[in-house]
Structure 1
């Protein structure tokens, strides 16, 4: 008697989520490359200026230094600026959240990214989300909530800084979109923290 043919159970269908994410990432990469190529005539010096304007090497040390200065004995009033407290808190939150998401997602930067990018920490090698975008929208949203005018100028700067990341080839479109939403969320967290500190502290003039 001939041996019975072995029957194999049908293989389980591949999960749709990775394929869907892969398709979205592919579309994002194609759109980002198209935008990068389309805006190559934009002066690189202008885009680099926007890059510097949103750089964490400026936005983190300067507010921290001003905060320490206002809290020093040299400050005769002894009052600490709540604006600086909230801004520094937001920037620290941003540094932690962006770094965490980058090392978890580990999305490589675009292959056409020029080699003139400063990398401060290992997480900067990864693309998602854009730290410049999150930082710019954090600052814009926080200052707008604090009453700075014109608000439109704040968000125009944040949007231009975010767009420059795609045009420079540093990031994909979804990187900067995610960064923008993250920055607005961080501004909300900063305001929550500031309200809590104002209710608890006697040295903040809120």
Structure 2
């Protein structure tokens, strides 16, 4: 029995080492990416940051919902945004990973914004883009009814719209590392969380 206990403790010890090693690699790689991309105009990265800010996104579906309260997509976007806010805040409070030391000029809205893991911007923008992709059939029917939009770029308007949404979400997430707001793993975790939220809301709302 004692031998089994010793064996279990021996096998359990490498986990913290591997975790710390992964964190060290994440910190080093994130700093390298941040430093290598310093020539990128900061105004562009700030524009992406603002485009994924919750203070910018929350009023949009709420305002549209006041004009079209029967839209299940708008309701799902509102509920998903609230879910994202709660989950990100909870995880940040539990994990409490400090932001990069080279993070400068960031406005903190909530106390949990002091923490880095996961990226709230990444979870938000990937929730939005993933949810829109799941609603592709509805958007295809809506956009195809507008003759000025249909085929304007020589392609399917819905596909172009969804490609733009995905590129925007990816670029916004990458900008978090380039601005020094987050580490790479923060962004990856946020993106995965956003996709999970989109799947959950899409199936619960039965859209």
**TMscore range, shorter length:** 0.7 to 0.9
From 60, 68, 81, give the equivalent of 2:71. Answer: 81
Would you say 1:125 and 2:114 are equivalent positions?
yes
Q: CA deviation at 1:38?
A: 0.1
Counting only pairs closer than 5 Å after superposition, residues 1-206 of structure 1 correspond to structure 2 as 15-71=13-69, 80-114=70-104, 116-147=105-136, 148=139, 149=158, 150=160, 151-195=162-206
Question: TM-score if structure 1 supplies the norm length?
Answer: 0.82
Determine the C-alpha separation between the residues in 2 that align with 1:49 and 1:192. 32
Work out which structure has the larger RCO, using CA pairs closer than 8 Å and 6 or more positions apart in sequence: 2
Q: Runs of 4 or more off by more than 6 Å in structure 1?
A: none
- What is the alpha-carbon root mean square deviation over aligned residues? 1.6
Rg larger in 1 or in 2? Answer: 1
Determine the C-alpha separation between the residues in 2 that align with 1:90 and 1:110. 28
Determine the C-alpha separation between the residues in 1 that align with 2:102 and 2:84. 26
Q: CA deviation at 1:190?
A: 1.1
Determine the C-alpha separation between the residues in 2 that align with 1:64 and 1:175. 28
SS of equivalent to 1:20: helix
- Give CA deviations for 1:59-117 in whole Å, capped at 9, x if unaligned: 1122123223434xxxxxxxx11110111111111001111110000000000001x21
Corresponding residue pairs, total: 177
The answer to whether the Cα contact below 8 Å between 1:35 and 1:167 also exists between their aligned partners in 2 is yes
Question: TM-score if structure 2 supplies the norm length?
Answer: 0.81
Structure 2 unaligned blocks of 5 or more: 1-5, 140-157
- Give CA deviations for 1:147-166 in whole Å, capped at 9, x if unaligned: 14222221111000000000
Which structure has greater helix proportion?
2
